[in-house]
Amino acid sequence: MSAKIISGKEIAAAMREELAVEIESLKVKDIIPGLGVLLVGEDPASRSYVSAKEKACEKLGIHSREETLPPTASIEEILEKVNDFNHDDRIHGILVQLPLPESSMENEVLNTILPEKDVDGFHPVSVGKMMLGLETFLPCTPHGILHMLKRSGIETKGAHAVVLGRSNIVGRPMLNLLSQKSDFGNATVTVCHTGTKNVEEFTKQADIIIAATGWPNTVTADMVKEGVVIIDVGVNRVEDPEAAKGYKLVGDVDYPNLLEKASAITPVPGGVGPMTITMLLYNTVEAAKRIKGIC
């Protein structure tokens, strides 16, 4: 058996075409979705992510506005920028690129974003509504994974899904969303983490594995059953003397050896990554519609 490759790149492209049509229909009503982006510091990865998001906005016709601050910026300066976005009628969604130079700032900064503009889905109001199954903005990576599963024809109802990792960005939201009574959920979900003993006992039972650990080769072929579906969230740099940059990007699973055992698997790169940005765009369009009262 050779696994079906779940291409996040292809699914994201299809969703962006759908968004482009919707954005054009909004423009007829004089509504241009707008995204405000705040970047604090000079982290190269964050800079790269922000640039990719802004290019995607430009291509779809979403208005974007970037504000940057030095890594020495005070909490007051950061909150001032966030509040500026809060009061800007052209901005419907706000993205504060994480991590911030000081992690202790993050809760206060994220809590300052108006919930109706919280397109990352990190505000406590958004998280609470998600937990209750109410309409809200869902975190982009978990939301993207749900669309990947659905558009790939993978049934979650009645499946045993094992989530590796318990972060607030991926692991915990996945637990909640997959277990909800919905078209995207109805699964039985187990969460494994650094405190879990004998992880392979759980992964061998899994119909679906979502790996978000941040470590390469967390899941190997001997840890899974035949026909498992694997969603690899990880992006790790490993040394590769043959690569031009001296390294290559790999996920959290042993992709080459799982190809012959899994029924479906996401690649890295080209898997979950493109979906995360696409869902940010999706949420921004939804935010504009909700603020304007048309959905």
Write out pLDDT tens, residues 259-276.
999 999 999 999 999 999
CA atoms within 13 A of residue 284's CA, in its CB half-sphere: 32
- Residue 97 designated active-site: yes
Which residue of the set 81, 117, 118, 120 is catalytic? 120
Which residue of the set 53, 81, 117, 261 is catalytic? 53
- Residue 120 designated active-site: yes
User: Would you tell me how many other CB atoms lie within 10 Å of the CB of residue 259?
Assistant: 16
pLDDT of residue 244: 83
Q: At what angle do helices 44-60 and 8-28 cross, to 10 degrees?
A: 50
What's the CATH class of domain 140-272? alpha beta
pLDDT of residue 238: 86
> What's the CATH number for 30-115?
3.40.50.10860
Answer whether 30-115 and 140-272 agree in fold: yes
pLDDT of residue 1: 60
Which residue of the set 97, 118, 207, 261 is catalytic? 97
Q: Does the model's pTM come out above 0.85?
A: yes
- When pLDDT is averaged across residues 43-62 and rounded to a whole number, the result is 90
So where are the chain's domains?
A: 30-115, 140-272
Q: How far apart are CA 264 and CA 232, in angstroms?
A: 11
Q: How far apart are CA 89 and CA 287, in angstroms?
A: 12
Q: How far apart are CA 257 and CA 230, in angstroms?
A: 12
Residue matched to tokens 């990947």: 148
Query: Among residues of the chain, what percentage have pLDDT more than 70?
Result: 99
Q: How far apart are CA 261 and CA 95, in angstroms?
A: 39
